[in-house]
Amino acid sequence: MSIYILGIESSCDDTSAAVIRDRKILANLIANQDIHKDYGGVVPELASRAHQQHIIPVITNALSKANIQKNDLHAVAYTNGPGLLGSLLVGTSFAKGFSLAMGIPLITVNHMHAHILAHFIEDEQQGASPPFPFLCLTVSGGHTQIVLVKGHHDMEVIGQTIDDAAGEAFDKAAKIMGLPYPGGPLIDKLAGEGDPHAFTFPHPRVPGLNYSFSGLKTSILYFLRDRLKNNVHFIENHKHDLAASIQYNIVEILMKQLRRAAKQTGIQHIAMAGGVSANSGLRAAFRQEEAQGNWKTYIPKFEYCTDNAAMIAITGYYKYLEKDFSSQQATPFTRYSDK
């Protein structure tokens, strides 16, 4: 018998709903919130209001795209953290009400674990899933982690950022360059026509397998402040080289610790997950390691990299198999935890 699960994601500024049949995605719809562009970052109050407006239409459309009735669903899975509390509460309230109304199990999903489990979605364009154990570089707007993945429900963070996340580093650098939020994808686009070695920035010294990106942001800020003194058009004249150099540096910082982690653990199956894994520089660096025969790499399909409910649905599927259900008492959490 096939298992049908509805997945709901509302941790930040994307309202997403997906329907999965076993490991195959039948629908994965996302309503983005353009409103935050005017503010240079996500405004939590506006995000939760927009989720309220989007959630019913997105779920209704996902069910109709999947061509199933709500009575066909075996469970509802939703993100209960980490994320913005007001945003999480919208998905939480819907999922709890839906579970009660339909008499189906409620499944809580950790957003960061879901980014990793996106690798297990059955999709021709995605290739094979990584075998256990593997290392996953999980890079998003709020987190940067090296995770030792021993099983679908057995993950250990062995390195993480001590300040900014990689996505934040991209977004803050973009903001300094005067680009709108979120700047990560724009830096990526501009970098395609620039020289990654045009400008160099110092790399952080961080103990163990941890990361730091706040120093990079400060050095970009001071570098541009000095250059702009002599040439007010410096950023405009060098935007491609600047973007390429910033991207190269962030990717190199990410790769250095990841190479160290691979060496320390002896694991050569290396995956990436989270919004920043959409970055073409990071993808190229992974492919290069594979081409050199160092690693076997696993890169998720583009639409499963940034926030989406397909990853919530696949995590819900694996938890359903374990009968790992939640009660109506479940409360959302804002900061990363292992639960």
Q: Which two tokens stand for residue 56?
A: 């019913």
| Shortest distance, position 10 Cβ to ligand KG4, whole Å | 12
Using the contact rule CB under 6 A, the part of the chain among 85-93, 235-243, 261-269, 271-279 near ligand KG4 is 271-279
Instruction: Name residues contacting ligand KG4, limited to 158-187 (CB under 6 A).
Output: 167, 170-171, 182, 184-185
List the one residue from 50, 176, 242, 276 that touches ligand KG4 (CB under 6 A).
276
* 3-state class (DSSP) for residue 192: coil
Q: Shortest distance, CB of residue 83 to Zn ion, whole angstroms?
A: 8
Residue 48 interacts with which of ligand KG4, Zn ion, none, CB < 5 to 8 Å by class: none
- Taking CB within 5 to 8 Å according to partner kind, which of Zn ion, ligand KG4, none is near residue 170? ligand KG4
**Which position among 28, 108, 140, 145 is part of the footprint of ligand KG4 (CB under 6 A)?**
140
Q: What SS3 state is found at 10?
A: coil
Question: For residue 207, is the peptide bond before it cis, meaning its omega torsion is within 30 degrees of 0?
Answer: no
- The continuous run of DSSP H or E covering 277 comes out as none
The distance of closest approach from Cβ of residue 9 to Zn ion in the complex, given in angstroms and rounded to an integer, is 8
Kindly state the smallest distance separating residue 168's Cβ from ligand KG4, in Å. Answer: 6
Which residue number is nearest to ligand KG4 in terms of Cβ? Answer: 275
> Strands of 75-81's sheet, edge to edge?
24-31, 15-21, 4-9, 75-81, 106-110
How is the chain split among helix, strand and coil, in percent rounded to 5? 45, 20, 35
188 or 241: CB nearest ligand KG4? 188
Closest alpha carbon to 299 in 269, 324, 327, 326: 269
* 307 interacts with ligand KG4 by CB under 6 A: yes
Alpha-helix runs per DSSP H in the chain: 44-66, 85-102, 111-117, 166-176, 184-191, 214-230, 234-237, 239-265, 280-291, 310-321
User: Applying CB under 6 A, does 81 fall inside the site for ligand KG4?
Assistant: no
- What separation in angstroms does the CA of 209 have from each of 42, 47, 155, 212? 29, 33, 16, 10
Nearer to ligand KG4, 297 or 306 (CB): 306
Footprint on this chain of ligand KG4 (rule: CB under 6 A): 12, 140-142, 167, 170-171, 182, 184-185, 188, 274-276, 278-279, 306-307
